[in-house]
Structure 1
Amino acid sequence: MNKLLRNRQGQLRNGWWILLFMAVFVASQGVYRPVSKGLQGLGIDKQWLSPLPVVFLLLVTWICLRLRRQPLSGVGLRLDATWLRHVVCGVALGTAELLVVSALIYLAGGVRFELDPARGLAALGHGLWFFAWGAVLEELLFRGFVFQRLVDGIGAPMALLLAGLLFALAHLNNPGMQGSTLAWATLDNALGAILLGLAYLRTGSLALPMGIHFGWNWTQGSLLGFDVSGLAQAGWLAPHLLDKPQWMSGGSFGPEASVFAVVVDALAVLLLWRWQGTAGRAAHALTVGPAPACPPPPPACC
């Protein structure tokens, strides 16, 4: 029984930590829902409550880390100058990726752009608020405590593949997920998750994946005006899809359902795989087998 609960070092096995996280997360929803409804009942618009689920997820993560006798920074939230540089690098990379995908769709005759008559700084600011909190939430959920326990338990390669599958499955109910969109968007979501997982492994920080995630979504929705994962957006530009197959333009789902997004994300995954990273853990993080339980913190480098 003791072997079932603990590893050779006497530590609780990672599978049990994941189950504990899930139990605490489910319990937290019993508090989150009435708090959210109560705040909306006080007249606070739902869009301004975007930080609330992040706060609850941080609390769940903090509880689990405290039980492991680790600080909250241990999950990849060491908020210092290096962390900020990684965020900036991530935003630049995510923005560049989406611009390349959009340029390829444009050159293939899949879209033309016009200035949106209703554009304004307010729309850009609203998108910044919404996509920033969304990126923080999803990265904490998919590259945070659970993903890191998977890396420690089954090794980085299998953890990346499993996290990619889970991330793709989590988006299956998005609007427009059918036909060729289902195939290409699911593949791109899985590749995107692997890319973001590699960004964490190569730096030992959630800053780079958060920046990539935000840069891609904000550029796609708030700047270029594409739908994001099937959800309509108001952007600075107004894209008009032309008479091309959905697998080329992404259709109403957005560029994530385009073959060009798959190609660009695959190339980005390859580049990050070959990159040696900035963290001391990068040398062993992608080897087969469990990673050390307490990797050293990343040095100050972007």
Structure 2
Amino acid sequence: MRKVLSHPLTQAFALLIGVLAIFFTLQAAVAAALGIGPANLTPLNALLLALTGAAAALISVPLARRWEGGSAASLGLPAKPAARHLLAGIAAGGAVQAVTFGIMTAVGWYTVSAVTVDLGSLTLMALTALCVGFWEEWAFRGVALRLPEKAVGTWWALAISSVLFGLLHAPNANATPMTLVGITVAGGLVLGGSFLVTRTLWMPIGLHLGWNFFQNSVFGTSSSGAGAIQEIPLLRGHISGPELWVGRPGDLESGLILILVGTVTGLIMLALAVRAGHIRRSRQKATV
């Protein structure tokens, strides 16, 4: 029994279920207590809901340390490179969105009708993106990628974590099969690749933050999980183009442009991880 409980796959399954259970329980409690719903999902309310995810991560990280008998650094949360990797991730996430919107602008599929600087809304949405990035990256890269990797190797663990990450977004209001493909392939590759390059969670946390913040709050369109938030973006952006390429309204992740840009970015990161020698074999192969 002790051997089963200490197996990386067992630990990954138990921790992931624990993080998700804590998150959804806390979020439901906060939403019910404060009367938060789609009709009044303001930036402040969105931040309050996102904080439940951060709380779920903060509760489960010490549990993981005790279970694994390691340090915060061994969990992917070392203190020293945190600021540098976080900023690099934000820049990378912003760059993915800038290239995506740059392509759409060049072909006439993205236009801006107004520019509004609302520092309050932008600050709240940046904090929301940080909380979402923190808890989702802990759950899906810190748990669902890092732990299975010890047993089945990097490539299988990357596939597992990417699929689980895509499935998490299936209940989102605007999600379609193409959304899940985009989030699984592009999101999983980019976020998973950034973890493998740095071997810390700080870069994928920053990248997740930059991806969501620039898409929603800077360029003024919404992702599949943020379509109902009543925020005031920096740019009042409008997308009009073939659905295959730009996605459904409020669902840029289902469009081929973002999928392809994300996939290329992810493949570059994976190539850097391979070059750095950060790819690990499965436990079985390693003992042969």
Give the aligned CA root-mean-square deviation in angstroms. Answer: 2.9
Match of 2:78 in 1: 78
Letter of the 1:63 counterpart: L
Match of 1:296 in 2: none
Match of 2:188 in 1: 193
Q: Distance in 2 between matches of 1:212 and 1:252?
A: 23
- From the superposition, tell whether residues 35 and 88 of structure 1 become closer, same or farther in structure 2 (CA, over 3 Å): same
CA contact (8 A) 1:155 1:291 kept: no
Normalised by the length of structure 2, the TM-score is: 0.83
Q: How many residues are matched? A: 273
**Which residue, 250, 257, 260 being the options, matches 1:260?**
257
CA contact (8 A) 1:110 1:248 kept: no
Normalised by the length of structure 1, the TM-score is: 0.80
Q: Distance in 2 between matches of 1:164 and 1:274?
A: 17
Q: Distance in 1 between matches of 2:197 and 2:88?
A: 13
- From the superposition, tell whether residues 74 and 35 of structure 1 become closer, same or farther in structure 2 (CA, over 3 Å): farther
Letter of the 1:107 counterpart: A
Identity %: 21
**Which residue, 127, 133, 157 being the options, matches 1:159?**
157
Match of 2:119 in 1: 121
- From the superposition, tell whether residues 241 and 62 of structure 1 become closer, same or farther in structure 2 (CA, over 3 Å): same
Letter of the 1:266 counterpart: T
Cα deviations by residue, 1:20-46 (Å, 9 ceiling, x for unpaired): 3256447746974687469749xxx64
- Unaligned stretches of 5+ in structure 1? 7-11, 294-302
Match of 1:207 in 2: 202
- From the superposition, tell whether residues 153 and 69 of structure 1 become closer, same or farther in structure 2 (CA, over 3 Å): same
Based on CA coordinates, which of the two structures has the bigger radius of gyration?
A: 1
CA contact (8 A) 1:256 1:262 kept: yes
Q: Distance in 1 between matches of 2:274 and 2:24?
A: 40
CA contact (8 A) 1:175 1:253 kept: no
Q: Distance in 2 between matches of 1:286 and 1:221?
A: 33
1:244-259 correspondence runs (5 A): 244-259=241-256
SS at match of 1:251: coil
Match of 1:60 in 2: 60
**Following TM superposition, by how much is the alpha carbon of 1:266 offset from its aligned partner in structure 2, in angstroms?**
1.4
Q: Distance in 1 between matches of 2:281 and 2:250?
A: 36
Q: Is residue 2:93 matched to residue 1:94?
A: yes
Match of 2:109 in 1: 110
